[in-house]
Amino acid sequence: MNLARTALLTTTLLLSASLMARPEVGLPAPDFRAVDTAGNEHSLADFAGSTLVLEWTNHDCPFVIKHYGSDNMQSLQQRYADEGVVWLTVISSAPGKQGHVSAEEADRLTETRGAAPTAVLLDPEGTMGRAYDARVTPHMYVIDTEGTLVYMGGIDSIPSADPADIPEAVPYVVNALDAVLSGNPIPDAVTRAYGCTVKY
C-alpha cells in the first residue's frame, strides 16, 4: 500500500471515529449551533456560566404526550427557570417525518401547552441530535456551569406512556438538577432514556 493511500485511509478512519464519538458524562458537552423558532442562532458557548437542560421532543410521541399532557414537563421548565436554569427544547425530526414542525407550529405548541422553555431549537438535519447521540423523545441532558455534561438519560425511571406512573417514578432529571444546583454529586448520572426513536 503506497503512502498516499495509507494517509487517506488513516484520515478516513480518524474522521469516522470522530463522527461516531458519543458524549460522555464528566467530559465537556458537545458544542452545537442551532437556530431557534425566532431565527436566532445559539451555541453552547452562549450559555457559559448557566446550568443547561437539553430536552429532545416530538409532539406526536406518546411518551412526550405523557409528560406534556400531565403538565409534568411544563412544571419542570417553570420550576427550574425560577432557579436560573436554561432549558432548551430540541426538535430533530427530519422534514416529512413524525414530529417535524415549522417554527410557527413549534411556537403554537409551546403556547397551547403552556410550555416554558428558554427556547425551542430546530434541528431538521439532525446535526445537534447526532452530536449528542439523542435516540428517543424525550432524551434529557444536563450541562453544568463549566460546560461539562453531568447527566444524560431518561426524564424518570418508569418507561411507560401512562401519566399515572409519573408520581411513582424516580425523577432522574429533578434529582440531577437539584444535585447540580446544590453542588452535590448526581446519584444517577447516566440512565436509560425511553420514548419514541428520534425521526432523523
Residue 155, in any domain of the structure: yes
Write the CB contacts of 29 (distance below 8 Å, at least 6 apart in sequence).
23, 44, 52, 141, 143, 147, 148, 149
Residue 14, in any domain of the structure: no
Residue 70, in any domain of the structure: yes
Q: Domain range holding 184?
A: 24-197
Residues 171, 77: contact at Cβ < 8 Å? no
C-alpha cell at 17: 471515529
CA distance 19 to 106: 29
Residue 16, in any domain of the structure: no
Residues 50, 84: contact at Cβ < 8 Å? yes
- Of 117 and 2, the one with more pLDDT: 117
**Exposed/middle/buried for 50, CB within 10 Å: 0-12, 13-18, 19+?**
middle
**pLDDT (mean) for 1-11:** 39
Q: What is the CATH number of the domain that holds 131?
A: 3.40.30.10
**pLDDT (mean) for 75-88:** 98
**Count of domains forming the chain:** 1
Residue 66, in any domain of the structure: yes
